Amino acid sequence: MSFWTLQQVAEHNKPTSCWVIIHNRVYDVTEFLSEHPGGAKIILKYAGNDATEPYDTFHAPDTLEKNLPPEKYLGPLNPSDALALTHAQRDKTKTKDQLRVEEALTHRPPLHRVINLADMESIARRVLSHKAWAYYSSASDDEIAYTENARAFSRFFFLPRVMRPVAICDPSTTILGYPSSLPIFVSGAALAKLGHPLGEVNITRGAFVPPSVHLIQMVSSNASLSFTEIAQAAGDGQVLFFQLYKHRDDILAERRVRAVEAAGYKAIFLTVDAIVPGNREKDIRCPWVLEDEEAGVPPVYVEDTVGAASGGEANLFGTAGALIANDDRSMTWEKTIPWLRGITELPIVIKGIQCVEDAMLAAEAGVDGILLSNHGGRQLDYSLPPLEVLYKLRRQRPDIFSKLEVYVDGGIRRGTDVLKALCLGARAVGLGRPFLYAQGAYGVSGVTKIIQILEREIVTGMRLLGVSAVKDLAPDMVERVDWQPLATKL
């Protein structure tokens, strides 16, 4: 096999001939430019150069093998040039944001000082890169839906029962028949490697620590590690679900479903609320913030009449919006659910139900569960908080809860939030951002820590409610009020 030099690769830096280097291997991606979900521009930025760092950050390791024909791998880089690349990367001047992160990591408080999920989020805000924080924390438009997801919980108050035996309190449950030590699960979220080099594997390892911690992790189609790698990191008996973003090509979609099933995943969560990316402006602005930071002086802008007339060249996809560019925008109850039932025997849950009417259609379609979710406020702004949808479903169609399992995510930050959802009929609740923040700030230990925090809060809340088992949580233990408390911080 012939070797390539950096000079030879550098000559192929145009749309008509585009080569890149990934882990000292040379690839011809010219024909892939038009197919790349993020568009050709991002690849051309690295045309004729080393693209290993951005590739590792945003793609699972097997992405190239899945999307490029074998003949597009041209061969290895010349050993001396590969060594030169290694030295260049080692000696590369660090950005101001990288230096800030390194400094912040040395001043993280010890984990025993993290006593709630808000503490963990505050630490993550300081130690994550600007890009990671912008992507994880961003929500659509004015972020009203994101804010109200959490505020919705403040409209529900408890009606505790007293003089009931709670010395023994069991917070465990089952989700689709699989045991969980707590009535919570990891909701699917993309690009965990933005926050930590080990990415989703941190969550996998932190969510399953026998004998006490057995949580279920939902793995996103857009994870920064392959679903196979994550499955291989799972412990013996650990349960993983898969969050499916269905490709518009049924053949490709079927291939993924069958591969996921073969890898040992136990359920498919079909995502239906993200057929186009939400308008996440904090994430969109991220590159400009970093550019201005590196400049070190206030930027000077000049009027760009050409750009203004043409709409400019802003990347409105943001960090990961392009990941769903090829998703199916023509899914229907009549077509998609039978198709999915026809290719897998795994339980099917619809993720992204946002109204009672669609919950009824899901039950009629015969799925195994629904996840009431507005994607953490990241898709349609002013979509109703999932807890309010759960409340409406409980009042209008209580029979639905006996036909399928109902879950909810979005805005859960306390064990009491979990209990309110369970009282209203949720089988379990999902958390996404808290696990990204925890693994980004402390790795595996951070994930285990927030599980311990939630367990303490859930068990304490159950005892104060007068219940000793999850099954005893009932609708008459909560009441919705038409006012909201004034929250204070110590």
Q: What are the Cα distances from residue 155, in Å, to 111, 158, 249, 336?
A: 31, 10, 43, 36
Query: Is 476 among the residues known to form the active site?
Result: no
* Distance between CA atoms of residues 210 and 202, nearest Å: 16
Q: List residues bridging with 372 in a β-sheet.
A: 353, 408
Residue 245 annotated in active site: yes
List, in order, residues 6 or more apart from 223 with CB less than 8 Å away.
60, 190, 191, 192, 199, 200, 230
- Decide if 46 is catalytic: no
Tell me the C-alpha distance between 33 and 16, whole Å: 10
Angle of helix 281-295 relative to helix 130-137, nearest 10 degrees, comes to: 160
Of 46, 245, 391, 442, which is the active-site residue? 245
> In which residue are the tokens 């050709």 written?
40
Q: Which tokens is 10 given?
A: 């550098």
**Candidates 12, 130, 375, 381; catalytic one:** 375
Measured distance CA(148)–CA(382) in Å, rounded: 9
Residue 267 CA to residue 73 CA, distance in Å, equals 35
How do beta strands 173-175 and 213-214 pair?
Answer: unpaired
- Of the candidates 27, 136, 178, 273, the residue annotated as catalytic is 273
d(CA 462, CA 426): 15
Q: Which residues are part of the catalytic machinery?
A: 245, 273, 375
